[in-house]
Structure formats: C-alpha cells, structure tokens
Structure 1
C-alpha cells in the first residue's frame, strides 16, 4: 500500500525571532522589571511566558522576603519581656513589612465588650490614639465581631461595616483612607486586631493580607506568652513581697503585744491615763498628748505643741480628716491621731508626733494605747458617775429646800462646796437631751473644782463661787458652746443656802426667757433681762403677751401711721409726766395729752392703775428686747 508522505519538518525559526527570544531570556536572567519585559520586541507567546516566569519569580521572592521578615520579627519579639514593648514592636514591624503610612493595634476589653487602642506607629492624632471600637462598628469592629480579616481601599465609600460619628471622626482626623485589619487569635481566644493603614487610596493584595495575618498570629502567640511570663514574674514578686510582709507583720505583732503587756501592767498596777501617755511616748520615741471629749488636755509627754489661746486645741485640723471618728489612726502633716471611743461615744483623742513615718507595728501600738485608755476612762467615768449621782442629790436638796438650813449646809460642805462665801446659781439648758451627760461633764469642767454641779428636773444647776452672775453665765455658755448649744441663766450673788430655792426659780424663769426671746446658746443674768425674767413661765409665749397688752395701740399705729406705742413708752420713761414726755418726743405737751386720751380710749380707763401700768411697762420692755434680736 502506498504510505502517507512524512510531514514536513517545522521550519526553523527565523533568525530575528530567535534573537528576540534570546533577548527575553537575557532580560529574565538580569531581573529586568516587568515593564521592560512587556515592552520587549518578541513573539507574543514568548513575551507572555516571560512575564509569567517573572511574576512567579517575584511572588516567590516576596514570600521569601515575608518569611524572612517574620523570622526577624519572631527573633525581635523573643527578646522582649515587657508586654507594652511587644505591642510597640508588633505595630512597628507591621508598618515596615506592608510599607504603609501607619500601623496600630487594638486589644479586646472583655468587661466593656469593645476594643481599645493600645499601640500605634506613625499616628499623629491624639483623638485617634484614644478611640474605642464597639464590636461591629467600623472596620475594626467588624474584624473583632467576626474574627475574620477585612480590608478596604477606600474606607469612606465602603458600606460593608457600620460607620459611627466617633470612629469616623477619629479616622478623619488621622487622614486614613485605606485600611487592612486582621484578628489576633490564640487557641480560639480573641485577643485584639492588628491594622495597617494608608492616608491615600491603596488596594491590599491577598499576599499582603496573608502577611499581616501571619504577623498577627505570631504577635498574638508572643503577646500571650509574654503576658504569661509577666504574670508569673509578678506572682513570684508578690509571693516574695508577701513573705516579707508576713515577716514584718509577725515582728509588728510581737512589738504590739509587748506594748499591750506594758499598758496592761500599768493599769493593773493602778496607773492612769498619764502613765499610758508617758509609756506611749517612750515606746514611739516622740511626743504624745491625750485630750478629753471637750478638747481639754488631760496629759502629755515630750515636746508636744502648746495649747492655743484659751486652751484651744492645736490639733483641731485633724478633726476634719476622713475616718477621724472610726477609732482608726489618721494622719495630717506628720501628726497622728486616734479617737478613744466606747459604746459609740467619743471619750477623747490621742495625738502623737515628732516621729516621721509610723510603721505598721507602731500604728498598732497607738491604736492599742487608745483601747487601753478607753478602758481607763470608762473606769474613771463610772467612778465619776457615782460621785455625780451624789452631787445630783445634794443639788436637788438645795434647790427644793429639803431639810433644815443647817442640814443643807452640812450636805453642801460634805460635797466639797462652801455655801458661806458668796456664790452665783447657774441654770443650764441644752438643746439635745441625748447630750445631757456631756453638758453636765462640760459644766463641771467649765465652772471649776470649787463649784457644785448637778442635774435637776432636766436642767443642769451649778453653784459657782463668785459675785458676777452675768459674766459667769456668758463664760460658761461660750466655753460649752464649742461642743454643743447650751443656754445659761445666772442669778446672784447668793449669800446662804436658804436663798438657793428662790435663786433657782429665778434662774429657770430667766433661761426660759432667753430661749423665748431667741437667745439660744447665750448666757445672761436675770438682771440683764429686766422684768422678763420675772414674768415668763416654763413655756412662755412672749409674742402673745405683748400682743395681748399692746395690740390695740399697735393696730391703731399701723392703720393711721401714728406712734401711740412710742408715746406710751416715753410717758412711762418720763415718770408719767406729759411735759417731760413731750420734751423727749420733741412735740408740744398738748399733742402728748391728745395722744394719751386716744390711748385711754383704746386701752380703757384702768391702764394707769398700778397693776395694769406695770404690765404695760413689762410689755414695752419685752418689745424692745425682741427688737434687739
């Protein structure tokens, strides 16, 4: 059979094509850019193949560069032990690898349920550096909520994520347009988001997104490990500090126990608050001061600050320190104080100073001194209460006139009071019944050791040596008023016990008058109030009394614009002389006569009778006293 003719062999390439292909190979060998290869004169098929080879080679080189960069990053992160420095290294490396204008990292806040800016590189906006991203808000919030990478070439025109005014404002102030974000995840635990961003439009290739993702993975693992290492170091440090604290605490307990033993020994040996204050100062090596509940200095040790004028407490500024009344130690300007309390009542305060900083054991020593001092003061108070009960009975006997004069003289002398010398009687009435005992103790202190002070029918009665009742009443009211409001009436001088009941009755009336006239918290003698101290009762109504007597004149003056009340006052002041009253009022005597006739018409014919006249004069006096308030 005839055979098919053999196909003609392919013709050899043209010499020009061969040279062009060789030229392409030379360009590939010399790493010529893609643009040069694409522009080379060569057959289209050969040029396309050369471009593919160059592209693949460039991809391999980029991958190798990325892997090398990741290795460098791993080595750099491995040298960091501080979590903050690790984060700074991560964003710095991300910006370098992706060649972006800035890079930043946010961390997840589990309590707030959002992410917050933690590290930036290349950022210039303070607002951007402090922004927080809610889950699902902004591109970062979308990455955080989905745990998947997202990127955009133009943030402002991308509607895949929810724009918010806060996030858009921060992004706008930074000038960001293109953003790529990828999550930091370790063992399914979301840690945060790593970003690379540009201030001009820029598409991110998948290779760049993958590179940022690899960096985020490496960073997340390193960050978790660094945190674990830091936590372990902190735990070890805390354990060491705890051991040292326990040792110091044990030493402090031993020292405080020794101080307690010394305080207890002092008390058991019959020592008082003076001994405790001295022991405290010696133990601490500084000065110590004890004041009572009224601020009066009871005892002191060492070069303590002196009292101010009139016994003012130089440590009063400490009273405003928070927790001052809790029984715990407080400090201000190198002075320490602890209040002495029992049954929620403040008995006094211990102040110490000249020590510098107090150690924990020394602080416990001061607090323990406060506890022991409270016990001693309670013992003293119980004894004082027993003595005060006896004084109360003596005062009640004196003001009620119980027994013969001679018996009352003997009772007063037995209580330590000498009724033969002139004395004044004070009646003290406090605002708060709960503070009655404190006022009683304060009155004893304010009136001195020679006075006899007791409680009678809710008031406090004091028999005080002296002759100026007004001055004594004012002084006592002022002194006690530093702690609580108390009104004090003074009567006297009284020369024997027989005059005490009448003086007491006058004092009760006077203190009632002071309160009725609006002078609470003040002190005065009955003579300083004129007739007011003689007419008011236990619960006087001064306004009603004045209105009842002078009401017709007051109403007439208000309607007519006259001054009948002033004329009546001037008439009595002039000794019931119309002529002298006219001179005082600078009017004609006939004018005064006409006004007196009008007064008679309004008050009745009996207004000039002695009893009625006296009451009118008392009412006029009270009205003037009211006007002085």
Structure 2
C-alpha cells in the first residue's frame, strides 16, 4: 500500500500504477497473473488498463469488441469480471471447467492457461465502481477469506489510485487553464497598451487597421455607413468582406441588421447566402475561418463597420474584445473625419454661395484662394452640375454621400438655395460619375428621388453664375414633369439662355403645343417624323446627310420634312422655325414627355 501511495504521489502514469497493483496481487497472494480492468465511459465493456503475467496475445484477445461485455446479449456468454462490476461484489471461480454459466471463459481460459480466478470490483469514494481486479491461477483452487480480503484491499487501492490520478489530472487541467488564461490576459493587455500607443501617437486610421490585421493574422476593412472603404490591410494577401449582393440577402443581411441592435462583434456566414464573396478583381473568395464584423458607433448611430476577414483562427472571446476596443478607437477617428467633413461642407457651402453671387463673385481672387485651400483649382474649366431632391427638404450629410460616391474625383460640393451644386474639373467620364452619385444618393435617402442636371462648362470664376442658372433651369424643368435621372444641357447654345431665364411651365406649354400634331401623327401611324426632324436639325438641315444617317432615300427625308411643315403650319426654310423646333425638342428631351 505504501509503494502504491508513493507511486500515486510521484504522479506515475495510471497504467503503471495499475500494473503495480497487478504485480502486488501476484507477489503477495501467489497468483500466476493479474489484470486491472476499467469500464469504458459508456459502460458497455471493460478494457485491460494494467496487467502482470498476461501474454500480449491474451490481452489482444480480450480487447476485441465481443469480449468483456458488461451486459452481454446472451447470458451464457457472461464473464466473472462483468458480473463483479454489475453486482459490485467479489466473484470467484474455483475451476473454469465446471463454470458452465460463464461461456466466455471456456473460450478465453485456454489461451492463457488458467483454471481459477477471482474478480473484485474497484469502489471509488466519489466516482463509484470504476472496474474490477481479476487474479488468475493456473491450478484449480479454493479462495480463502484472507485471500479474498487481500484481493479486495488491492482493488480498493487500485480504485484510490484511479481516483487520485483523476484528481491530479483535473488539477493539472485547472493549472494549465489558469496559465492559458494568464497568457491570454497578458496578451490582451499588450494589445491594449499597443493600441493606446498608436492612439497617443496619432498614427491615423490606416496604421490602426494595419496593426489589427497583424494582430489577428487577418484582412481588416473599415467602411463608412455607405459602404465606402476608409482603410484596409494588409497590402498583400488582402481578402475583402462579402460583396454588396451577398449583403442584401440571407445571413449577411441579418448580421448587418443586428449591428444596429447589438454593440458587439458579430459573425456572418457569406457562403450560406448562396455564393462566396468576391475579391477585389471579381473572383470568388473563400473565407476559411469566417467573416466577422463590428459596429463603429458615433453618437448612438452606426457610423462605420469594421470587417475582419479570414483570420488565422476564429477569434476567441478575448480577441473579440480586442476587436471591439479597436472599433472604439476607429469611432474616434471616424468622428474626427466627420467633424472635418462638417467643417469642409460649411466652408464649401460658403464658397459656392460667394461664387454664385448675382453678378459674379465680389472678390474673384479670394474665391480662388479659398477653393485652393480646399483642394480645388477653380482657375481651370469646371462643369457645373445641380442636384435636386424630391420631395424637397433637408438632407443631412448629402455632401458626404456625394463625395463618397465620387471618391476618385470628389467635387467641390455644397448647398445653394434649394439645391446642391457640384463643381467638377472638365474631363471625360463625368456622366458615369454622376450616375453613380444618383444611385448612392437614392440608396442613402430612401423615399427621395434625385435629379442631376449637367450645365455648361465654366471657364473661370465669373462664368459659374450663368452655368448654374442653366443647370438649375434644366432641373426645374425636369421636376415639373417627371423628377429623377440625369439631364445634360452642356451644349444647348441659345436654348441655354431660355433655360436660364424661362419659366418651366411656359417652356413645357411651348414645346407641347408646337410638337403636338407631329407627335400625334407618329403615334397614329407609327411614323418617324420626330426622329427625322431631330437628325435633320443636327445635320445642319441637310437632306442628303440626314438620308445617309437614317439609311433612307433623300426623297423620303424630303417627304417627311414636308409632312412636318404641313402638320405644324410653319416653313422649315425659316430660321426662326428651325430655332423654335430645336428648342421644343430640347425641352421635350429634358422633361421626357413622350406622347404629349
């Protein structure tokens, strides 16, 4: 008992301890071999956990799935070990040849060469019966009370050894967990201190995102509320968050909606929404370790999102807290940027107000200097565009939405009168930029319809007033009929003056009355008078050029022009008639009053 106790205190492995128990049974009581059997966790069978004197072949034989079943289906295949375990008391077999009720023994005993055995259960103080000690004798024999007592004493020692080993294992697990928790806590504190150093150093959003990406071994993206990327990392191997299409359906949409209610890191499952996310070049991206998103809240409202994509491993709770701390710092950076945007918006609005002062800016050079301070060179030609909303009314942060949509070439933008003015450097690709702005504005302001008119190019500061009036006149004209969409009035010539000065309703009546008979004729007969008139005027009133453009015979063009003259009662040989028709077509295009 002392030897076994010393082995337990020395943290000897459990199989070694149980082998000692088996050796003691053989040495003290005179058995030829001995085994300690432990029950499997599901208590379906017993297994040899330690032995002395048993051959490897015998141990392998009793370890198969059909041996040592605790509850065999056929009672004739029962074993003394299983009965001792079930009954919780010692079972003896004086001669295997006479033990008809233990059918399993007649198969097993010859393999090891024993005739008698004794099986005593292992009773643990806390866990209950753990298994049995089975001692074997090569000769048939009767077991005296002293021998039974010694075997039961060794069984109790084996049970205590198992219990002590379990307690020691639990203790080691607790120690290991405490050490791990300490390591995790120290790691979290290191990350917190590193984060605070970054904040105090004022490194900016880009370096904060890079630091978090390095910490988690992940791709990190910070988006504003409109989905515009504010910062991302790492530079190589970057994995983007789920694409816009995935965010509009299924689990990704649900997770993003939950951000409004829960101020914590949320896991999303982009693959469950139908397809994987898309990479920066449009190819599917596999997120092996998931996608996580944290809200960036400013003033109680969602101001941005912090995405963590494909980390080394799913973030543990302490790592999620690190992400949440980063989100708080990102909120500070976003708030700083929002304050800068607010200041810039006020400065831009004041600048545009001075630029569009009736009669032109009072101090042109001062306007140029203020624009340059905001990053805009108004000495260069600029296109003047006007954005209007329906229904009208205040639209907080509309300038922010516009700049986010035109991130590559943000305009000088600000409110003026009842519209928003956008000034872009003259150049290609402007139509696509403005269409993108229309889309983003209507997404950011559900229930509102946006109309944008592209006015003439202002060559210098003094030209912006007239260009603005033309664009604003086009917006007013479109809104009287059917608001929404993009109107281009950059190259109207004399008609621009009428847009600048004319009343929208009067222009609409003028166009409708002049073109009504021609439009009605086309509607009844499926004719091409209106398209022919448009091409004829654009071709400098050349019949042959019009015929080539429309791929028809010149006589057909002449017939159609004559029909227009007859329907309108006006001669197209007169320059004033041609000017009126050109203006009517322009107004018709702006208001899109097809069939009127």
Normalising by structure 1, we get a TM-score of: 0.49
Offset, 1:375: 1.9
Match of 2:566 in 1: 598
Match of 1:330 in 2: 267
* 1:619 matched to 2:579: no
- The 8 Å contact of residues 228 and 404 in structure 2, kept in 1 or not, is answered as no
Call closer, same or farther: CA 1:494–1:582 in 2, change over 3 Å.
closer
* 1:478 matched to 2:440: no
Offset, 1:453: 3.1
- The 8 Å contact of residues 446 and 480 in structure 1, kept in 2 or not, is answered as no
Specify which of 452, 460, 473 is matched with residue 496 of structure 1: 460
Offset, 1:457: 3.3
Call closer, same or farther: CA 1:253–1:597 in 2, change over 3 Å.
same
Offset, 1:447: 1.9
* 1:363 matched to 2:341: no
Alignment of 1:29-428 (within 5 A): 256=188, 259-302=191-234, 304-306=236-238, 315-316=242-243, 319=247, 321=252, 322-325=254-257, 326=259, 328-331=265-268, 332-342=287-297, 343-400=300-357, 401-428=360-387
Instruction: Supply the distance in 2 between the matched residues of 1:416 and 1:439 (Cα, whole angstroms).
Output: 18
Call closer, same or farther: CA 1:339–1:425 in 2, change over 3 Å.
farther
- The 8 Å contact of residues 477 and 505 in structure 2, kept in 1 or not, is answered as yes
Offset, 1:541: 9.9
Structure (1/2) with the larger helix percentage: 1
Match of 1:456 in 2: 416
Cα displacement string for residues 117-136 of structure 1 (whole angstroms, at most 9, x for unaligned residues): xxxxxxxxxxxxxxxxxxxx
Call closer, same or farther: CA 1:338–1:539 in 2, change over 3 Å.
farther
**Which sections of structure 2, spanning at least 5 residues, go unmatched?**
1-38, 46-69, 75-172, 269-286, 444-449
Instruction: Supply the distance in 2 between the matched residues of 1:619 and 1:399 (Cα, whole angstroms).
Output: 28
Instruction: Supply the distance in 1 between the matched residues of 2:296 and 2:497 (Cα, whole angstroms).
Output: 41
**SS where residue 419 of structure 1 aligns?**
coil
With 290-299 and 525-534 compared, the bigger mean Cα shift is at: 525-534
- The 8 Å contact of residues 281 and 352 in structure 1, kept in 2 or not, is answered as no
Instruction: Supply the distance in 1 between the matched residues of 2:324 and 2:178 (Cα, whole angstroms).
Output: 20
- The 8 Å contact of residues 223 and 305 in structure 2, kept in 1 or not, is answered as yes
Call closer, same or farther: CA 1:493–1:302 in 2, change over 3 Å.
same
Match of 2:147 in 1: none
Specify which of 395, 401, 415 is matched with residue 439 of structure 1: 401
- The 8 Å contact of residues 288 and 353 in structure 1, kept in 2 or not, is answered as no
Instruction: Supply the distance in 2 between the matched residues of 1:259 and 1:423 (Cα, whole angstroms).
Output: 48
Cα displacement string for residues 156-200 of structure 1 (whole angstroms, at most 9, x for unaligned residues): xxxxxxxxxxxxxxxxxxxxxxxxxxxxxxxxxxxxxxxxxxxxx
Specify which of 539, 554, 577 is matched with residue 519 of structure 2: 554
Call closer, same or farther: CA 1:247–1:484 in 2, change over 3 Å.
farther
Call closer, same or farther: CA 1:520–1:243 in 2, change over 3 Å.
farther
**SS where residue 526 of structure 1 aligns?**
coil
- The 8 Å contact of residues 340 and 373 in structure 1, kept in 2 or not, is answered as no
Instruction: Supply the distance in 1 between the matched residues of 2:41 and 2:472 (Cα, whole angstroms).
Output: 82
Match of 1:54 in 2: none
**SS where residue 341 of structure 1 aligns?**
strand
- The 8 Å contact of residues 341 and 374 in structure 1, kept in 2 or not, is answered as yes
Instruction: Supply the distance in 2 between the matched residues of 1:542 and 1:256 (Cα, whole angstroms).
Output: 69
Offset, 1:507: 2.9
- The 8 Å contact of residues 241 and 291 in structure 2, kept in 1 or not, is answered as no
- The 8 Å contact of residues 570 and 577 in structure 2, kept in 1 or not, is answered as no
Offset, 1:568: 5.7
Instruction: Supply the distance in 2 between the matched residues of 1:353 and 1:566 (Cα, whole angstroms).
Output: 56
**SS where residue 491 of structure 2 aligns?**
helix
Q: CA RMSD in A?
A: 5.4
Call closer, same or farther: CA 1:493–1:300 in 2, change over 3 Å.
same
Normalising by structure 2, we get a TM-score of: 0.51
With 425-434 and 381-390 compared, the bigger mean Cα shift is at: 425-434
- The 8 Å contact of residues 296 and 330 in structure 2, kept in 1 or not, is answered as no
Call closer, same or farther: CA 1:455–1:301 in 2, change over 3 Å.
same
